Chain A
């Protein structure tokens, strides 16, 4: 390892740790479980994750621990992100500390990881490890002659953890190929490398499919047909493919540039304003044009072709998920910010206009980073406040339950009707309204939905309550009693009916 490489890696590790601390430090050092994250202990969750196709997650939990302790998750995340950043900087041949700092920052602090950190803590490190494995596959395929045959193994392992990070490998491979062309590699050789890269990704998908079938067969698990499961992939019709591909291609453009009147995602609104992304895209185009001027025609055409393929590469997972995409699946959208950095790095020695464009691109990326870091801290704070507010509300609910005649803690079945998040006391905190529009952030209480209420009670405050499973249908008698009862916080929201304690929250 040369001295330059050592310095490059040291910068990458240092900046990654710094930006991870800045953007997620509060989350890693606070309780703040809320929503899906209320599943603090994942004991018993193995079959669900295996059915979703994430069969390596239970194996990973043995290492990380079944209880998602925020700091442990943080340490594992930081370590995986540091490795990923080192690989990305190395593959893209970034040398300048500023480029390395910005890339590391954008890899640690972006809206996918911010929402994951605030609302899906248990999976944050899983995502980071999945990303690391994807980039490791890229490194293998780039570094060794037959590496493209080895790369499918980390790709398949990454898919077995979480399926949405493979596009990052595709993006990095394309960016690396563009870098090769700019650095003067023959277009024929670069094209061959591109073919191998595609083959490598396809082999990874194939290997994952084989492994998944074996695991499901061995454990007797059926693939989940849920919105985020893999069960429907096999039923994908060829006739629907063109539409799905077109949708997947358009999604990043619609999402980043705010095209169309309706938001492209149901549960997630873009954090970055569209004009900022448009300005960044224009500067990237300028940087591409400046680089193209130094290239021969075949290389320039191949570069343009690869730039044109980028939107699909960022989002091909949407084709697999039959058009469904969420805020947790779009990490590659933000990872593509490496393109202007890579182009700027290669333009750095040229004359003044080019340097101005480089500087402007870096300044915009720094602004993006600042917005991401600020939003990440606010999201974590919101969840932490929600946890505290839920403790207060739960104390009142328990008090009423325990004072109900005939209630015996741990014995009397308890049927909770409705949600705290939709109750009369639910209100969005002033000043937090914009954050509430991101993935997993719209709830106002930690016990956000029916299952999360049970998780909160069982794992957070453990009041020895025999809660009936979430969404248990009340009997006719119980339904009549519920209809007649007032809802929380009015007196009488808890009452006994047919030996069951009814608690009406909404």
Chain B
């Protein structure tokens, strides 16, 4: 046992998994379902997931179970974060402090917080996708066996089938591996060869994913709802700038510290590259160019049904890159940088837990509000629970009652923490009533709801909480939550 625990990869995996488990524990022991995660039973959206290119998710639910139990989701997600950390540490051949900081960067970052805060029902699947992609990259570019790249391609395809947006994670890891090799002074031919293998594995994985997606769509008789979407930032320059700007975004409890630390680390990383150029001009220049390409690699266009997310796990690799570059400088600088990054991690821990508290409060607030809404529904003449078709127009979020909690304003920097109620979109109410409240609501489809919303008599109804916000119209109970 002791021998196993001494292995760097095992230690990296355990450290990252334990850190993630401790930091995000509040989310795993409380009802923090919010936004899309009010659909507690993730398998309910199997068709939508298949159509969106996440066709491995319904298969995964059969193993995990459709209902997203927070503790189970947390345990699997933390194990996956540990796997990510081990794979990245192996791929980049990191040891000591840089390895520990990499683990911390992967366990505590805005992406992980955002996933747990808004997509708890699928968080383990999303983290599994990241873990598979990281493992695929490590197996492809640092293969313990020559057949490993083939396995890596399959793993990459599996990762994309769980979450197609992890492609940029794979691309960024290829780039980081090349930079790491350049910094270590490995032969150029070996670097080029492993980079080509890495890129080919990624492309092969993408091809397998595309084939699998096509087959699954045909089998299910669906059409794809996903398309290639622009990354955050819009233009090429904007896409390059966006992840770099995120380094300075106030997604922490200590925004000024984050800005100062990242600015200092960026300058030191630049100094490290300049020193490398002095020693070996060509290598240094190549490393500089690749490092400059990194923000673009972590923010590639995404194949998704939804617009690109605010953050991604690949963004956390920018911190890992800074650590990697700094580790070429003196040990004292590495230690100082490590202390600074540890403070930033602490800021991330505080921020994440504030977000989870807000989510839990939202959950209670939504329960209180929806209890009143259901009471109004039940008081409407002619309404029979489970039988009467019900159309919910608008949402609490855009209603009269929606107000930002006092003292929680700073959390709005994270898009996943902007809402004031757990159910955000009109579609969420179906899942909220069924999965959270266990209420047999016969909610009408989107088309019918939109038709009703366009009617003048519905437009004339007052919105909740005013009296008369519910009415029977042509046999359908209309509940108006907002104008």
Note all chain B residues with C-beta closer than 8 A to A40. Answer: 357, 361, 407
Among A173-181, A343-351, A393-401, the one that faces the other chain is A393-401
Note all chain B residues with C-beta closer than 8 A to A460. Answer: 361, 364-365
**A391 is contacted by which of B26, B364, B402 (Cβ under 8 Å)?**
B364
User: CA–CA, A62 to B350, complex, Å?
Assistant: 10
**B371 is contacted by which of A69, A70, A395 (Cβ under 8 Å)?**
A395
Among A231-239, A374-382, A461-469, the one that faces the other chain is A461-469
**B474 on interface, CB distance cutoff 8 Å:** no
**A409 on interface, CB distance cutoff 8 Å:** yes
Q: Please, what's the 1-or-0 string for B347-387, where 1 marks a CB less than 8 Å from any CB in chain A?
A: 00111011011101100110111011001000000000000
Q: Please, what's the 1-or-0 string for A50-67, where 1 marks a CB less than 8 Å from any CB in chain B?
A: 000000000000101111
With both chains docked as a complex, state the minimum distance between the C-beta of B362 and any C-beta of chain A, in angstroms.
9
Nearest residue, chain B, Cβ from A407: B465
Task: Decide: B368 and A395 in contact? CB cutoff 8 A.
Answer: yes
Task: Decide: B465 and A402 in contact? CB cutoff 8 A.
Answer: yes
User: CA–CA, A395 to B370, complex, Å?
Assistant: 9
What range describes how many residues of A lie at the interface? Answer: 35 or more
When A399-B372, A409-B465 are in contact, do A464 and B402 touch as well, CB less than 8 Å? yes
User: CA–CA, A322 to B60, complex, Å?
Assistant: 66
Q: Which of B318-369 contact A (CB under 8 A)?
A: 349-351, 353-354, 356-358, 360-361, 364-365, 367-369
**B236 on interface, CB distance cutoff 8 Å:** no
User: CA–CA, A41 to B356, complex, Å?
Assistant: 14
User: CA–CA, A389 to B4, complex, Å?
Assistant: 49
User: CA–CA, A29 to B28, complex, Å?
Assistant: 9
**B456 on interface, CB distance cutoff 8 Å:** no
Task: Decide: B407 and A459 in contact? CB cutoff 8 A.
Answer: yes
**B401 on interface, CB distance cutoff 8 Å:** yes
**B405 on interface, CB distance cutoff 8 Å:** yes
**B253 on interface, CB distance cutoff 8 Å:** yes
With both chains docked as a complex, state the minimum distance between the C-beta of B466 and any C-beta of chain A, in angstroms.
8
Task: Decide: B367 and A67 in contact? CB cutoff 8 A.
Answer: no
Q: Please, what's the 1-or-0 string for B217-254, where 1 marks a CB less than 8 Å from any CB in chain A?
A: 00000000000000000000000000000000000011
The number of A-B residue pairs with CB atoms under 8 Å apart is 118
Task: Decide: A463 and B369 in contact? CB cutoff 8 A.
Answer: yes
Q: Which of A67-101 contact B (CB under 8 A)?
A: 67, 69-72, 75
**B444 on interface, CB distance cutoff 8 Å:** no
User: CA–CA, A311 to B29, complex, Å?
Assistant: 42
**A30 on interface, CB distance cutoff 8 Å:** yes
Main DSSP-derived SS at the B contact region: helix
**A461 is contacted by which of B349, B356, B368 (Cβ under 8 Å)?**
B368
Nearest residue, chain B, Cβ from A69: B353
Nearest residue, chain A, Cβ from B31: A31
Note all chain B residues with C-beta closer than 8 A to A464. Answer: 400-403
**A410 is contacted by which of B253, B403, B467 (Cβ under 8 Å)?**
B403
With both chains docked as a complex, state the minimum distance between the C-beta of B48 and any C-beta of chain A, in angstroms.
31
What range describes how many residues of B lie at the interface? Answer: 35 or more
**B404 on interface, CB distance cutoff 8 Å:** yes
Nearest residue, chain A, Cβ from B350: A65
Task: Decide: A30 and B30 in contact? CB cutoff 8 A.
Answer: yes
Task: Decide: B353 and A391 in contact? CB cutoff 8 A.
Answer: no
Note all chain A residues with C-beta closer than 8 A to B356. Answer: 69, 71
With both chains docked as a complex, state the minimum distance between the C-beta of B286 and any C-beta of chain A, in angstroms.
41
**B271 on interface, CB distance cutoff 8 Å:** no
Task: Decide: B408 and A391 in contact? CB cutoff 8 A.
Answer: no
Note all chain B residues with C-beta closer than 8 A to A64. Answer: 350
**B448 on interface, CB distance cutoff 8 Å:** no
With both chains docked as a complex, state the minimum distance between the C-beta of B22 and any C-beta of chain A, in angstroms.
7
With both chains docked as a complex, state the minimum distance between the C-beta of B19 and any C-beta of chain A, in angstroms.
11
**B34 on interface, CB distance cutoff 8 Å:** no
User: CA–CA, A66 to B406, complex, Å?
Assistant: 11
Note all chain A residues with C-beta closer than 8 A to B407. Answer: 40-44, 66-67, 459
Q: Please, what's the 1-or-0 string for A387-426, where 1 marks a CB less than 8 Å from any CB in chain B?
A: 1100110110011001101000110000000000000000
Note all chain B residues with C-beta closer than 8 A to A394. Answer: 368
**B274 on interface, CB distance cutoff 8 Å:** no
Among all A-B residue pairs, the 9 with the closest Cβ atoms:
A41-B407, A402-B465, A69-B353, A395-B368, A461-B365, A43-B407, A29-B29, A464-B403, A65-B350
Identify 22 residue pairs between A and B in the complex whose beta-carbon atoms are under 8 Å apart, listed by A's number: A29-B25, A29-B29, A30-B29, A40-B357, A43-B406, A67-B408, A67-B411, A71-B356, A72-B350, A72-B354, A398-B372, A402-B372, A409-B401, A410-B400, A410-B403, A458-B405, A459-B407, A462-B361, A462-B404, A463-B365, A463-B401, A463-B403
Q: Which residues of A are at the interface with B, using a C-beta cutoff of 8 A?
A: 28-31, 40-44, 62, 64-67, 69-72, 75, 387-388, 391-392, 394-395, 398-399, 402-403, 405, 409-410, 458-464
Known: A69-B26, A395-B372. 9 other contacts (CB 8 A): A29-B30, A31-B361, A40-B361, A41-B406, A43-B407, A69-B356, A458-B405, A462-B365, A462-B405
